Amino acid sequence: MVRRCTRFTYVVVFLMVCAALVSVTNIGQLSVFLRTKLHDVYGSDTGLYSTRFKLRGNLSLEYCQAVPDSLVGRLNIDIDAALQSAPPLEHQDVSPGGVWSPKSCVARQWIAIIIPFRDRQKHLDILVYNLVPVLKRQKVSFRYGNKTFNKGRLMNIGFTEAQKHDEFDCFIFHDVDLIPEDDRNMYTCSDNPRHMSPALDKFNYTMLYKGLVGGVLSFRGKHFTKVNGYSNLFWGWGAEDDDMHKRLFAAKLSVERPSITIGRYKMIKHDRKDVSPVRLDLLKTSIARYLKDGLNTLEYKLVETRLEKLYTRIIANVGDPPKNQTEHPL
């Protein structure tokens, strides 16, 4: 029974932050350069922001800068040290469930970060420890969720549950083991879905293949709905991201990416378990299947929603894989 729970009960973590951080040293010069760079990368990311933050926030405040002066650029991430001693999760200004607002300006977007995870609490702690300061420096507002295998199903649950908590402008689907190495990689949404993690240390900071959208992927809600979310049929490791790439293609959505100097992540080392034997077969039907398999056919049981110090954890049961995986219903 315990084994079963470990295997098929998943967790979603939500962190809600509306951010603004104090300054950092050594910014002036860097931020001018960054601003230019980011405009090159993301094009015009204006006019998309909801007005409700203005309504929620202090009316006398201006919107936060699209690329704030508080960025520091390349970060020095030491994963081995973090694995040795669990990092402290201290952010007094973040309310339970992970809620935080900028004091000096009004955040432009309300973001849900959805992290699928199972049995990797330590990875989650390290990610949250590293990500919260980045989000604060970026002055984005976010909320953040987390779960695991069936990963696609968990992402869909995160998307669905997140919206019961708040209205979001932006959803970021985020592997638990990827730690951002550069805060110029903005945790926001632009006009197109954006694959934020093209350069991993594991692959020498090169993009493995052209259609890669795994790792960290941001979406406007309407775009995620347009592709019908992720497939619910990929059990175990592999290919749900490649299936998503085909969905994006079928829905005629193009994918943006930051440059590989900015879209850099360190991956926390781990074993690979439960490789899906049918993943490549499923990929053959992605385009024909995408409107019949996804958000509109999602089934799960919500087990618990818990307000943690820096995030909201949502535990959901996603059910069991079919006995014979080749006999999927579509």
Which residues, 125 to 184, sit near ligand UDP by CB under 6 A?
148-149, 151, 175-177
Strand, coil or helix: what is 154?
helix
For the range 298-302, what are the long-range contacts, defined as Cβ-Cβ under 8 Å and sequence gap of 24 or more? 298/153, 298/156, 298/157, 298/160, 298/229, 298/232, 299/232, 300/153, 300/157, 302/161
121/297 with CB nearer Mn ion: 121
- The reply on whether position 245 binds ligand UDP by CB under 6 A is no
> How near is the Cβ of 109 to ligand UDP at its closest, in Å?
23
Q: Which of the following is catalytic: 161, 169, 175, 242?
A: 175
- The reply on whether position 240 binds ligand UDP by CB under 6 A is no
Closest CA to 169 of 253, 236, 86, 113: 113
Query: Which of the choices ligand UDP, Mn ion, none does residue 120 contact, using the CB cut-off of 5 to 8 A by kind?
Result: ligand UDP
237 is catalytic: yes
Chain centroid to Cα 33, Å, comes to 26
Stretch that binds Mn ion, among 50-58, 114-122, 171-179, 278-286 (CB under 5 A): 171-179
12 beta partners: 314
- The reply on whether position 120 binds ligand UDP by CB under 6 A is yes
Neighbours of 114 (CB within 10 A): 28
> How near is the Cβ of 308 to ligand UDP at its closest, in Å?
16
Half-sphere exposure of 60 (CA within 13 A, CB side): 2
18/200 with CB nearer Mn ion: 200
> How near is the Cβ of 153 to Mn ion at its closest, in Å?
18
Residue 321 and residue 13 in contact, taking contact as beta carbons nearer than 8 Å: no
108/120 with CB nearer Mn ion: 120
DSSP-derived secondary structure letter, 303:
E
Q: What is the contact surface with ligand UDP in residues (CB under 6 A)?
A: 115-120, 148-149, 151, 175-177, 214, 237, 270, 272
- Annotated catalytic residues are 175, 177, 237, 240-241, 267, 270, 272
User: Which residues contribute to the site for Mn ion (CB under 5 A)?
Assistant: 177
